[in-house]
Amino acid sequence: MRLEGGCHCGAVRYAVEVEPPLEVLACNCSICLMTGFRHLIVEAEAFTLLAGEGAMTEYRFGTGKARHVFCGTCGIKSFYYPRSHPDGVSVNLACLPLPQDVEVIETAFDGRNWEAAKAALDAASSD
């Protein structure tokens, strides 16, 4: 199913192709806790930036591998390029209007202990 989302002011808009149920990661790292980001990871091919390439600002911290992009006008990070899934895009579930009947399965991700959490995520994915 195709869903469209974006930032608060509408300058950044995107579309994603997803199949329910939607599996979402709830991370407890410093930036995710402060912003309330809930990660819907999609493959890069399933993500299309519709508007806002020039409206975004990038922020990197820690290892610098994750590319946190946010709207330079309203400040909302509606998606970013995660370290945990280098071939994907993490869409903020809060910025993606969902039909009421779509099931969401939320899993905790211990971003405070990133290396161990990533290893556990990889192990679960290979089962």
Q: Which of 12, 112, 116, 110 is nearest to 56 (CA)?
A: 12
Q: Tell me the pLDDT tens digit for each residue of 5-41.
A: 999 999 999 999 999 999 999 999 888 899 899 999 9
Distance (Å, whole) CA 13 – CA 121: 29
- CATH assignment of the domain containing 10: 2.170.150.70
pLDDT band at residue 127 using 50, 70 and 90 as cut-offs:
low
Q: Give the pLDDT confidence score for residue 23 in this predicted structure.
A: 95
Report the b/e string of 23-58 with b at 16+ CB within 10 A: ebbbbebebbeeeebbbbbbeeebbeeeebeebbee
Domain hosting 31: range is 2-126
Distance (Å, whole) CA 65 – CA 99: 33
Count of the separate structural domains present in the chain? 1
